[in-house]
Copies of this chain bind each other. A is one copy, B any other.
Amino acid sequence: MKTKPDFLLLDGAAAEPLYRQIYTRFRGAIADGLLLPDARIPSARALALELGLARGTVEAAYSLLVAEGYVETRGQAGTVVTPALARHAATAATTASSPAAPAARARPAAASASSASALASLNRPFQMGLPALDAFPRKVWARLAARAIRATQPDDMVCPPYRGQPALRAAIATYLNLSRGIVCSPSQVFITSGYRNTLELITRALLQPGDGVWVEDPGFPATTELLKHAGMKLAPVAVDAEGLVVSHGVATAPRARAAVVTPAHQCPLCVSLSLPRRLALLDWAAQADAWIVEDDYDGEYRYASRPLPALQSLDRDGRVLYAGTFSKVLFPAVRLAYLVVPPAQVPRFEQVSQTFGSGGPILTQTIVSDFMNEGHFARHIQRMRRLYAERRQIAAQGLDAVLGKHLRIDPQPGGMHLILRMKGRHTDRALAERMRQDGMAALALSERTVLPHAASALLLGFTNIDTPQRARELGKRILRLL
C-alpha cells in the first residue's frame, strides 16, 4: 500500500484506517446530499488509482457502504447511491442515527428542492418577462444545436473573443439594421451574458461610483438594484403617457451622468417614449455630457402598428448605448444579450470587456447566429408577434369578463404583460400579495414606484395564457381573492 493520501489525513486522526476514512467520507457525502440517490460513484479501481491506494483498500470501504445500504452495485452499470434513500429521505427525521440506518440520515437533496422551485416559478400564472415557451421552435433549435456540436473542432474550443463571436455580432448588426433602424457595424456590438451583464459593462466602462443616474419611476427592479449596488446615486424620474418626463429629470437631477430608459414599451407601463421626449432626452444628454442606456428588452413586440425605430437611430452625438437581449425573443435560459456602443466608445468597451470577461460559451453563440442567419429568428419573431397579439386579447377579454367591475385593463400598443388598474377600495399590493400566496405571479405597480402618488394596478404577464377558458378560470381565481 502506498502512503496515505493527504486529503484523507485532513479528515481525522491517522489512527483511523484508510478504508474506514473513505467509508466515512462517502457516508457523510451521501448524508449531506453531496452524493444524490442514483448517482454513480467511481469504480474501486479508478478511485484507488486517483488516491494512489491499493484497490483492496477502496474495495473494503465500498463493501461496508454496500453492507450498510448506502450504495448498490449494478453489475456493468457500476455502483450507485441507493435510490431508496430518496423516498425515505422525504419523511425521515434528520436527527443523527446509527450508520446502519442511512435512510434516516439522508436529507432531501438541495438539487431536487431547487428544481421544484424553478418549476413552480415557470408554472405560476401571469409570470412576467417569460416568452411563450410552448411556441418556441424547439425542433429547429435542436437541429442547429446538434449540427453545431458535430462540427466542433479544436479551434472552437479555445477562449472565445471576449466581445463575442464575429459571426453572431455580424448577424445582430444586420438584424438591428433591418428591423430596428439601427445603423451600426459589427465592431460596435458586444455580446454579454444577459441584461445585467450589459448594464454592469456600461457602468464599468463609463460611470464612476457616486455618479447620478436617472431611472424611470415606476421602473425595472433589476436596473435599480444593480446600479445601486455598483455605487450609483439613483434619481427616479416620473413617467407619464408619453414616457419618461424629461423635464422632471432636468429639474431634479440635471447633473446626472446617465439615464436608463425603455423607449419602446416603458417597463412596466408599456407606453412609448414620444418623439418630442426622445429629442429632449438626446438634447439633455448632449448638453450634460451624459449617456443614455436604451433598454430595448421587448421592442419587437408591438401589436397595434409596426415596431418603433430605436432611440439609438436618432442619436447624432454618440450618446446612446443600445441594450438588446435574446431572453424575450428566444428564451431566458440562453443567457445571451448584446450591447451596441457608439463608435468612439468601442476601444473603451473592448478594454473593459477583456478585463472582466463577458460573452458566453461558443456553442450558444453559434446556435444563435445560425438561427439568425438561416431566417428562423425573423420568422419566429413574426409568429410571436401574431401569437402575442392573440394571447393578449384572449387574456384581456377573459379577465375583463370576470373582473371588469373591479379592474380596468389598460389599452397598450405592445409588450408582454397586461396592466389592470384597481377600481374602488382595493390596493394593488394587498391583492398581489394574496395572489402570490395563492400561487400566481402577480406584481403590484406601486411596488415598482418610489415617487409619491403611485398608481394602483396589477402587472400580469399574458404570454403563456393560451385559451379563453384559461383566462376566465384565472379571472375567477383572482375574483375570490378580492
Contact = CB atoms under 8 A, between A and B. Distances in A.
A52 B302 CA distance: 13
Interface string A35-55: 110011011001101111000
A269 B141 CA distance: 45
A149 B152 CA distance: 16
A382 interface: yes
A162 to B, nearest CB: 9
Contacts of A146: 146, 149
Contacts of A78: 375
Interface string A1-19: 0000111101100000000
A118 B134 CA distance: 38
Given A177-B25, A309-B10, A46 B170 contact: no
Contacts of A193: 193, 357-360
B309 A7 contact: yes
Contact of A364 (B49, B166, B361): B361
A110 B11 CA distance: 55
Nearest to A174: B34
Chain A interface mostly: helix
A40 B374 contact: yes
A402 interface: no
Interface in A358-415: 358-364, 373-375, 378-379, 382
Nearest to A354: B225
A110 B187 contact: yes
A254 to B, nearest CB: 26
A263 interface: no
A333 B158 contact: yes
B357 A196 contact: yes
Contacts of A358: 193
A33 B121 contact: no
